[in-house]
Amino acid sequence: MDLSAFSYQKFVQFALEETQRRTTLSPRPIQENLKCLRSKDGNATLHTLSFKAPKIRHIRSLSIEGGPSMQVLDFAAFPELKFDFPIFCANFFTTSTLSIIVLDLNPLYDATLQRDYKEKYYRSLMPLYQKYAELLPWGDKITSESLKFFSPIVIWSKINSTPQNYEVLYATFKDYFKAWLVSMELAMEAVNEMQTVCNCEAQHKYLAWRAEKDPGHPLLKRLIGENLAREMIRQFLFEGVDSLGTKTFLDYFPEYHCVDGSINQKRSIIGKAYKTRPWDAGGEFIGSKVLFT
Ligand code: BLA
């Protein structure tokens, strides 16, 4: 499919309008050199948007328009630290033939270990996942570490890039984003400082993971160069990684420790696994427990 007429802009537009209908967005400043960028080869443009709102610490979007051959969306929304509702996560990497899709309400706390968290935020959403299970099937084996950051309603899929699939994805995105807004609206403020501290650490750990290991980084580096990519990652996409806590990536993920003290550059230590969806229709984890010991 020629992607020239295809864009993820309308997804972002929808999300911002829908948020604005329910709360008040205010812009967050974006560093000048990250506002609108052109790739080094001149073939792609990168657009960034950044907002906050009551209950929402950061809602931000990076879209990459790469003409007929590539379109990318990295859209995320993070709660204020007094709240423990999930992080909205939409990552779509589309070439003229294939789209790699991750769409989820990423849990702040491991939804397999913390059953109360799962009950609170996902029990009522399981039908939502089922609605799209056939159209957006499980995308085969995945980096095992990612599972800890995914919820039982995650959509992980690899689909052909077709106009029909684009419409399916748009419908799914809208439903998931509306579900996230409902979670946000219902969420109650932490009753004590300890909960806020835990929420903060949970977000920091998530940011530390993604700032170091997100699969999009190598491509981002190729597009805009090592230094700008680093700024984009640490100061925009995963903003908070250098301010919400003092723990390092290796404090959270010591299994990546190399003998010389550096971070193992491999994306995964455990490797890829989960050929099929590791949750049942009720959201019960049915994969191997190796990850969760
Ligand atoms: C691939 N992106 C992937 C894959 C996942 C994700 C799971 C499949 C490969 C794998 O198993 O790791 C996304 N992984 C996530 C997300 C989380 C996670 C969202 O753990 C959250 C916790 N993707 C982007 C951007 C680009 C991009 C901005 O979001 C490019 C600039 C590209 N993603 C991209 C590419 C691949 C990919 C090129 C395929 C390459 C590969 O598998 O290494």
Q: Which residue puts its alpha carbon closest to atom 30 of ligand 1?
A: 216
- Mean pLDDT to the nearest integer, 118-124: 94
Residue in 39, 219, 236 to alter for ligand 1 test, most ligand atoms within 8 A of Cβ: 219
Q: Which residues contact 111 (CB under 8 A, 6 or more apart)?
A: 117, 118, 121, 122, 151, 152, 283
Whether residue 113 has pLDDT greater than 90? no
Residue 104: what pLDDT? 98
User: 75: closest CA among 9, 6, 31, 131?
Assistant: 9
Beta-bridge mates of residue 74? 62, 91
Of the pLDDT bands very low, low, confident and very high (cuts 50, 70, 90), residue 290 is: low
User: Cα dihedral sign for 11, 16, 17, 23?
Assistant: positive
In ligand 1, the atom with minimum distance to the C-alpha of 145 is 20
Res 1: pLDDT:
82
Pocket lining for ligand 1, CB < 6 angstroms:
62, 64, 72, 74, 89, 91, 93, 100, 102, 106, 142-143, 146, 149, 210, 215-216, 219-220, 272
Name which residue sits closest to atom 24 of ligand 1, judged by CA: 216
Give residue for tokens 């879209």.
Answer: 63
Residue nearest to atom 1 of ligand 1 (CA): 215
Question: ipTM of the predicted structure?
Answer: 0.97
Residue nearest to atom 37 of ligand 1 (CA): 215
Instruction: State in Å: Cα 72 to ligand 1 middle.
Output: 10
Q: Cα(76) to centroid of ligand 1, in Å?
A: 14
Say which residues have a Cβ less than 8 Å from residue 261's Cβ, sequence separation at least 6.
none
Distance 190 CA to ligand 1 centre (A): 32
Of residues 266 and 2, the one with the higher pLDDT is: 266
At 234, the amino acid letter reads R
Which amino acid, residue 140?
Answer: D
* Coil vs helix vs strand at 129: helix
Strand pairing category for 56-65 and 87-95 = unpaired
Residue 289: per-residue pLDDT: 61
Q: What percent of the chain has pLDDT over 70?
A: 98
The mean per-residue pLDDT over the stretch 187-211 comes to: 97
As a whole number of angstroms, the distance between CA 57 and CA 53 comes to 7
Pocket test for ligand 1, best of 106, 150, 214 (most atoms within 8 A of CB): 214
- Determine which of 5-9, 107-111, 206-210, 233-237 has the lowest per-residue pLDDT on average: 5-9
Judge contact between 180 and 122, C-beta under 8 A: no
Q: What is the mean pLDDT of residues 19-38?
A: 96
Region 82-109: mean pLDDT is: 97
C-beta contacts of 175-179 below 8 A and 24+ residues apart: 175/128, 175/131, 175/132, 176/88, 176/90, 176/103, 176/104, 176/105, 176/128, 177/14, 177/15, 177/18, 177/88, 177/90, 178/18, 179/105, 179/125, 179/128
Q: What's the 7 CA to ligand 1 centre distance in angstroms?
A: 18
Distance in angstroms (rounded) separating the CA atoms of residues 135 and 64: 25
Closest residue to atom 41 of ligand 1, CA basis: 215
Can you read off the two tokens belonging to residue 209? 């993971």
Pairing mode of beta strands 56-65, 142-143: unpaired
| Ligand 1 closest atom vs CA 268 | 12
| CB distance 240 to 58 below 8 Å | yes
Residues 6 or more apart whose CB falls under 8 angstroms from that of 288 comprise 273, 278
Say yes or no to pLDDT of 186 above 70: yes
pLDDT digits (tens, 9 = 90+) for 234-264: 999 999 999 999 999 999 999 999 999 999 9
Residue 292: predicted pLDDT: 45
Judged against a pLDDT cut of 70, whether residue 176 lies above it is answered with: yes
| Tokens standing for residue 292 | 């969760």
56-84: per-residue pLDDT in tens? 999 999 999 998 899 999 999 999 999 99
Provide the pLDDT for residue 2.
83
CA nearest ligand 1 atom 4, residue: 215
Beta bridge partners of 158: 100
- Beta-bridge partners for 38: 45
Mean pLDDT for all residues in the chain:
95
- From atom 27 of ligand 1, which residue's Cα is the shortest distance away? 216
- Which pLDDT does position 293 carry in this prediction? 39
CB 149 within 8 A of CB 156: no
How far does residue 195's CA lie from ligand 1's centre (Å)? 31
pLDDT above 90 covers what percent of the chain? Answer: 90
Task: Return the pLDDT at 70.
Answer: 95
Residue 216 Cα, ligand 1 centroid: separation in angstroms? 5
